[in-house]
Structure 1
Amino acid sequence: MSMLPTISEAEYEVMKIIWSNEPISTNEVVDKLLESSSWTPKTIQTLLSRLVKKGVLDYTKNSRIFVYTSLIKQEDYVEKESKSFLNKFYNGAINSMLVNFIESNKLTNDEIHELKKMLDERLDKGGK
């Protein structure tokens, strides 16, 4: 994974729309974000421009329509942010994070059972 730029929470919301729908036009991005946010179309266009400048998005221009595609994979970005979160708050130790979540009742019983199921499946596959 190469160096990935840092993006803001607002930019990440735009990226989630793009990752789910790419290639996608400016108007389509705006329409989808207007359903879930109170941002103006101008704000959304500004966020798209920032993401292009950061090297996260690319676009092609078809007539007067801009069509966006991502230059980074969602999985790569989420992995980078997860590692950053772990390092920042838990010195890179996932077990410390899990203990914190479990002991502070931030995980429901259903979430704990799902986590146990995932861990059991991982063990059945042989680790790593």
Structure 2
Amino acid sequence: MMQRRIAKSELDVMEVLWVRPGLAASAVHSALPEGDARSLQTVKTLLSRLVEKGALRSEPDGRRFLYHPLITRDEYTASATRRFSERLFGGRAAPIVAHLAKGDGLSDTDIAELEAIIRELKGDD
């Protein structure tokens, strides 16, 4: 289980490995978005940190290591959302939605999706 939070720079590496698990550091580096100026050594440092945090496992493959996520993107998203909600909104969902709605952050599609989720939760489908 992951012990510490994932930093933004580490999350970029995790995004690559969630899509293509089992890559070596050089392949992770190559798969980062075009224009990402991080060096291969920086990527190796980020991978090591993620292994220490329990977010990745490394598997020897000759002289290199292959990296595999130990947490799913959904698990990370749920954990990060929970921390965000607790820190800013006392763990309540309604104030988050209200905040988004007041800031014009909800499109008609978002509202329709929220209505469908509420109907499903209430058993009204």
Q: What is the TM-score normalised by the length of structure 2?
A: 0.86
Task: Note the C-alpha offset of 1:101.
Answer: 0.7
Q: Retained in 2: the 8 A contact 1:4–1:77?
A: no
Q: Could you say what secondary structure the match of 1:35 adopts?
A: coil
Change in 2 beyond 3 A, CA 1:125/1:56: farther
* CA RMSD across the alignment: 2.0
| 2:51 equivalent to 1:52 | yes
Task: Note the C-alpha offset of 1:110.
Answer: 2.1
What is the letter of the counterpart of residue 25 of structure 2?
T
Task: Note the C-alpha offset of 1:3.
Answer: 5.8
Change in 2 beyond 3 A, CA 1:51/1:117: same
Count of residue pairs brought into register by the alignment: 125
Change in 2 beyond 3 A, CA 1:27/1:125: farther
Q: What is the TM-score normalised by the length of structure 1?
A: 0.84
User: As a proportion of its length, which structure holds more helix?
Assistant: 1
Aligned to 1:123: 122
Query: How many percent identity over aligned positions?
Result: 26
Aligned to 1:99: 98
Task: Note the C-alpha offset of 1:119.
Answer: 2.5
Q: Retained in 2: the 8 A contact 1:5–1:54?
A: yes
Change in 2 beyond 3 A, CA 1:64/1:125: farther
Deviations 1:80-128 (A, max 9, x none): 11110001111111001101111221112222222223332333378xx
Whole-angstrom distance in 2 between the partners of 1:23 and 1:110: 36
- Provide structure 1 residue ranges, at least 5 long, that are not aligned to the other structure: none
Q: Retained in 2: the 8 A contact 1:25–1:65?
A: yes
Whole-angstrom distance in 1 between the partners of 2:2 and 2:57: 17
Task: Note the C-alpha offset of 1:64.
Answer: 1.8
